[in-house]
Amino acid sequence: MEHPIIIIGGGASALMLASLLPKQSVLVLESNDKLGAKILISGGGKCNISNSDMGTQYFLGDKSFVTPALKSFDEVALLHWLQRQGLEPVLRKQTQYFCKNSAKELVDVLIRNAKKQKIILNEMVTEVRKREGIFYVKTSKKTYISSKVIVASGGLSFSILGASAIGYEIAQSFGHHIIPTAPALVGFTIQKPEFFFKTLSGASTQVLISVGDTVCKGALLFTHKGLSGPAVLDASLYWTKGKISIDFLPSFDWQTITQSKKQISSLLPLPKRVSKAFLLQLQLEDKPYARLTPAEVKTLQTLSHYTMAPAGTFGYSKAEVTKGGVDTTEIDNKSMMSHKEEGLYFLGEVLDVTGQLGGYNFQWAFSSAYSCAKYLKEKH
Ligand SMILES: Cc1cc2nc3c(=O)[nH]c(=O)nc-3n(C[C@H](O)[C@H](O)[C@H](O)COP(=O)(O)OP(=O)(O)OC[C@H]3O[C@@H](n4cnc5c(N)ncnc54)[C@H](O)[C@@H]3O)c2cc1C
């Protein structure tokens, strides 16, 4: 008798894979007491499923690994699939697809499609071994056997929702290399020179953040712990350590204001308390712009390229994703199967592929699941 395909995890990629294999026997092992816990809280409870502006430029990871999966099941294919299941995502913020009312709509679709499969909740996988061509998947309660194991256990972020290191541990136990992991899509903590940011908690403004060659655009939010907001979260994807440069005045035209008699704090397109705090920090008097000396103008213009070194990030407990993960050079980019171990597959966030904000991480979870499902169906 053929043993069921074992999927470790009951999150986005696992549920998509289980949904796409209706004719195969599948066993889903999830440590939580419910499925799709991250989907349910994502996107402010409405789940940002995907993005109409799709492409490998929005992913950190090997583009040649990401491309085939994204091509075989892109945002259009995903939308069609969801529409066929009765889910009609809505476009918000110009390019981002969300569930219309609640993320539960998506989880319900996935569960409905996977209902034929055996799903076991409250069972934590602790180890996977292989002997004589058979995988032994040990959980907190028993051991299951199969010839195919799919690791869809996600990253380390939000352990409160069931995240664990099991995916990396399994990969390592089969000889895989792990690209060092770190929290991503997360806020930055700050060092002493920026402690004054804390007094600005709650204020936000549009910025451009440069991290190396990458520029992240969007809102920056000052918080009591440091910096957050979409631009900062995206910047955290590319930051490892060292300095970043923030343009606090991205659409400000310095040329048109040279003769302005307005006070600087009224002139700068920033919340007034932010302008005032920067003036204090830069030791500039709040006076009409036209009265600034050339040296003072130069000092003020540093706001267009404010350089700072974050102390770190808010950590895994606040990070939306984990960057790094299973080295994709050791994974087949069409089937998601390990080059090191026949029958062992990796999907979604556990791999060294991480998307920016905007639905890219769910798209990756679903695209990688689709590639794997296609291969398993063809092979069957
Ligand atoms: C607050 C928040 C908001 C987010 N919002 C968005 C968004 O709007 N759009 C977007 O694209 N991305 C978003 N993300 C990221 C997205 O949720 C993940 O990238 C995506 O869920 C990854 O899918 P996955 O299948 O790889 O892992 P997951 O969906 O994390 O699923 C992994 C599953 O494995 C289970 N598991 C872990 N260890 C074990 C074990 N030992 N035994 C058994 N089961 C185990 C976990 O409980 C979990 O259910 C958000 C993340 C967070 C934390």
- Would you kindly state where each structural domain of the chain is located, as residue ranges? 5-182+319-379, 188-313
CATH, domain 5-182+319-379, list 3.30.1130.10, 3.90.1150.10, 3.50.50.60, 3.40.50.10490: 3.50.50.60
pLDDT at 298 > cutoff 80: yes
Query: 316: which 2 tokens?
Result: 């895994």
Q: How many CB atoms lie within 10 A of CB 225?
A: 15
Alpha carbon distance 173, 192 (integer Å): 42
Tens digit of each residue's pLDDT (9 = 90 or more) over 215-247 = 999 999 999 999 999 999 999 999 999 999 999
Q: 323 C-alpha to center of ligand 1: Å? A: 13
Tens digit of each residue's pLDDT (9 = 90 or more) over 106-126 = 999 999 999 889 999 999 999
Nearest to 339 by CA among 352, 350, 323, 326: 326
Q: Decide: 180 and 352 in contact? Cβ < 8 Å.
A: no
The residue whose C-alpha atom lies closest to atom 53 belonging to ligand 1 is: 320
Q: What is the pLDDT of residue 360?
A: 98
- Percentage of the chain exceeding pLDDT 70: 99
Q: Is 372 in the pocket of ligand 1 (CB under 6 A)?
A: no
The residue whose C-alpha atom lies closest to atom 11 belonging to ligand 1 is: 359
Q: Which helix or strand (DSSP H or E) is residue 135 part of?
A: strand 134-139
Find residue 297's DSSP bridge partners: none
Q: Decide: 150 and 347 in contact? Cβ < 8 Å.
A: yes
Strand order in the sheet with 48-51: 48-51, 96-98, 90-92
CATH number belonging to domain 188-313:
2.40.30.10
Q: What is the pLDDT of residue 1?
A: 64
Q: 3 C-alpha to center of ligand 1: Å? A: 26
DSSP secondary structure code for residue 68 in this structure = H
Whole-prediction pTM = 0.96
